Amino acid sequence: MSQTATRVGARHGHSFDLKKYLETRTEAVNRALDAYLPPASTRPATIHKAMRYSLFAGGKRMRPALCLAAAEACGGNESAAMPLACAVECVHTYSLIHDDLPAMDNDDYRRGKLTNHKVFGEGIAILAGDALLTQAFAIAAEFRPTPRYSHDQIFRELTHAGGSLQLIAGQVADLEGEGRKLSASQLRYIHERKTSALLCCAVRLGGMSANCPAPQLKALTDFGHNVGLAFQIIDDILDITQTSEHLGKTAGKDTAAKKATYPSIVGLEKSRRIAKRLTNRAFEALKIFRGRASALEALAIYLLQRDR
């Protein structure tokens, strides 16, 4: 366990069984997603098979887990947060399908399996992404408003994080930055949008499902922002230090595509230090929950220490 992990463990005087937590949450999320999506046999079968292929390709369900854990920290329950957790996962999966296309990152593998367009062809892959994005909003409509948070606020939250100012802005800046020398602040701009925005949205939506008061929502926002930035730095580090086989996707792609990454700008060691500092800041934000945020803390440590 890293220093950070040990510190957190000591602070709360208990160990949290993250493996079990993730197992049960992943199962629950998979069941819910399965129920929210049209069966694979629904006509036209091609599109529903393609949507399900990527949605059930073994994703780690980190965003749904963060969403559910945030709801729990705010005293909410899993079933209220579930539609929002699933909606975020659909947005995430659509963005991966489109990012993997030949016109974008041109990836053949994702999570150790062929990418959507390698199996179904580019036309269907584009449509499967479109359909998952649309489905995300259909699922979000299943959310039951709370006294503080109405349907339209939930939709604004999700469309903002997934839209042209955040998730898509990040992908555009990423595409445009290829082969160019970026400063650390330009890279941070990309990371904040490409990764942090949707992670942050996941925890905020979790809090909103639990009708959290404003100070808790602010704390979740700080937590999500910092964890999201750390997450992307770790991703960049793993792209350099791990094999494709281990990652289940093509390693070394950033270097090959001449993409700026934290390791390429500040080096591996400093990148690791930055990721740890961000994770510590994420922990600080959780103080307000007075020990009820063990799942969020454990997830943050896991995201920092993961090797794939």
Residues that bind a copy of itself (CB under 8 A): 38, 42-44, 46-48, 51, 94, 98, 101, 103-104, 121-127, 129-131, 133-135, 137-138, 140-143, 150-152, 155-156, 158-160, 162-165, 168-169, 171-173, 175-176
Q: Give the whole-angstrom CA distance, residue 85 versus residue 33.
A: 9
Looking at beta carbons only, is 37 or 298 nearer to a copy of itself? Answer: 37
Question: Which has the closest alpha carbon to 276: 234, 308, 220?
Answer: 234
DSSP of 254-283, one letter per residue?
A: HHHTT---HHHHH-HHHHHHHHHHHHHHHH
The amino acid at residue 186 is Q
CB of 245 vs a copy of itself, minimal distance in Å: 28
CB of 203 vs a copy of itself, minimal distance in Å: 20
CB of 10 vs a copy of itself, minimal distance in Å: 43
CB of 45 vs a copy of itself, minimal distance in Å: 9
Looking at beta carbons only, is 2 or 150 nearer to a copy of itself? Answer: 150
Question: Which has the closest alpha carbon to 99: 129, 123, 119?
Answer: 129
CB of 265 vs a copy of itself, minimal distance in Å: 20
Q: Give the whole-angstrom CA distance, residue 91 versus residue 64.
A: 11
For the stretch 8-12, contacts whose Cβ atoms lie closer than 8 Å and that sit 24 or more positions apart, written own/partner, are 8/283, 8/297, 8/301, 12/291, 12/294, 12/297
Structure tokens that stand for 133 in this block: 């994005």
CB of 124 vs a copy of itself, minimal distance in Å: 7
Question: Which has the closest alpha carbon to 280: 1, 5, 19, 67?
Answer: 5
